[in-house]
Amino acid sequence: MTRLGQTRPALPFGLTPAAAGSMKGSALRRALLAAMAVGLLAAFPAPLAAHDASAVGVAGDPAKPARTIEVVMADGSDGMRFSPDRVDARSGEQIRFAIRNAGTVDHEFFLGTRDANKRHAEMMAAMPEMKHADSNAVTVAPGGSATLVWRFTHKGDFEFACLVPGHYALGMHGTVAVR
């Protein structure tokens, strides 16, 4: 109940105070998180189907030949980084990224355009629990490894990045130059 002159904060998407009051903690949190997610998707209108992966290429076929590039993700006193931080590829080439996390925290390897990755890093800061299960992204636990197979179908400069909140801003991104 509010006193005269006081207002209640607005609840998202028609959620009434009575309905919110009847929800228990986790149900209310899920409803509010879902509403926030919808709001963020509206605020960040970039294509999010596979997070704009089609601008970079397509998921590769693991059964077909591919050049293997070993990528190490690291964090420490000298910062967060990928090694190597640049990969050169040919248009149409399929690359098998063998990714190893030599760091102490979770890291991601996320292929996209620079602009899409920057926008997505901002969105991840608002939704830090988001995990990726896309053909152009893997999350790797400390000491773990993963493989991502990708065929680059467009020429241009693209980016691989760690979109765990704060990591991108600390310089954890690299370039894929496709010629």
Helices 114-126 and 25-43, interaxial angle, to 10°?
Answer: 150
pTM confidence score? 0.70
Residue 40, pLDDT score: 44
Q: Which amino acid is at 10?
A: A
Q: Cα 4 to chain center, whole Å?
A: 45
Token match 């691989």: residue?
Answer: 160
- Rounded Cα gap, residues 154 and 179, in angstroms: 8
Provide the 10 A C-beta neighbour count for residue 65: 7
**Dist CA 120 CA 52 (whole Å):** 10
Domain chopping of the chain, boundaries: 12-43, 49-178
Residue 9: DSSP 8-state: P
- Residue 127 is classified by DSSP as -
Question: Could you tell me how far CA 29 lies from the centroid of its own chain?
Answer: 22
For the chain, 179 residues long, give each residue's pLDDT as a single digit of tens: 545 555 555 544 444 555 555 555 565 555 555 545 444 444 443 333 344 578 999 999 999 999 999 999 999 988 999 999 999 999 999 999 999 999 999 999 999 999 999 988 888 888 887 777 789 999 999 999 999 999 999 999 999 999 999 999 999 999 999 99
In Å, the largest CA–CA distance within the chain is 72
Q: Which residues pair with 99 in a beta bridge?
A: 71, 146
Candidates 1.20.1440.230, 2.60.40.420, 3.40.190.10, 2.40.50.100; CATH matching 49-178: 2.60.40.420
- How much is the pLDDT for 131? 73
- CA separation for the pair 145, 150 (Å, rounded): 16
